[in-house]
Amino acid sequence: MKIAPSVLTADFSNLKHELQSIETADYLHLDIMDGHFVPNISFGPAIAKTISQSTHLPLDIHLMVTDPIRWVQPFAQSNPVFMTIHVESSDVEKTLKLIHEHKIKAGISLKPKTEIEAIIPYLDQVGLVLVMTVEPGFGGQGFMDSMLVKVERLVQIRKQKNLDFQIEVDGGINLETIKRCKESGVDIAVAGSYLFNMSDRKKGIESLK
């Protein structure tokens, strides 16, 4: 299991130390929120670029925004490995194409209430599928076990169609829920509050792995 700590729950007043404390992770997950697609606002391209210059971890950028095509180029400056957009956002096809043009692996995500059928047309265009296991936009929520049905379906589709996207989950990850994720076929788990509330985050990352 690969672990991607969500920097959203880090202490931004001591960001360098926070990033060092999770350096044994596999990716660094950046939640970008516009105050429209989700109620909260997080941070913009300048902060993302600063973060990218302060860590060796490959970035996993999650655009929780209504109009993602506007934000691909600015966030591409951070050189992420993945840039994920929501199927519920606008211009999905065009945005995925633009992400590819920037030599970034595109990802597609869906909210808990969105059926898996919504993303099936895009699965051959992405390197990552992000299944939200909480409602996006807020930290500290409880894990929604029912979302693992989507994960299991994605595993089946990936095998049937001979696709190679990775499956990621985000929300409510801890030592118990990650076991169920692994059993369902998850490849990458985003962990926020659980890790950043720990004093020894490297030990926490190792336990999750």
- The CATH number linked to 181 is 3.20.20.70
Choice among 11, 26, 31, 67 that is catalytic: 31
Place of tokens 């130390």: 17
Choice among 26, 170, 187, 200 that is catalytic: 170
Structural domain boundaries, residue 128: 2-208
User: Dihedral sign, CA of 33, 44, 131, 5?
Assistant: negative
Tens-place pLDDT, residues 48-101: 999 999 999 999 999 999 999 999 999 999 999 999 999 999 999 999 999 999
CB 126 within 8 A of CB 167: no
CB 135 within 8 A of CB 128: no
Query: Is this model's pTM higher than 0.85 or not?
Result: yes
Is 170 an annotated catalytic residue? yes
Is 31 an annotated catalytic residue? yes
- Split into its structural domains, the chain has a count of 1
Please enumerate in sequence order all residues whose Cβ is within 8 A of that of 141, keeping only pairs 6 or more positions apart, or say none: 134, 135, 171, 172
Task: Select from 38, 42, 45 the least CA-distant residue to 59.
Answer: 45
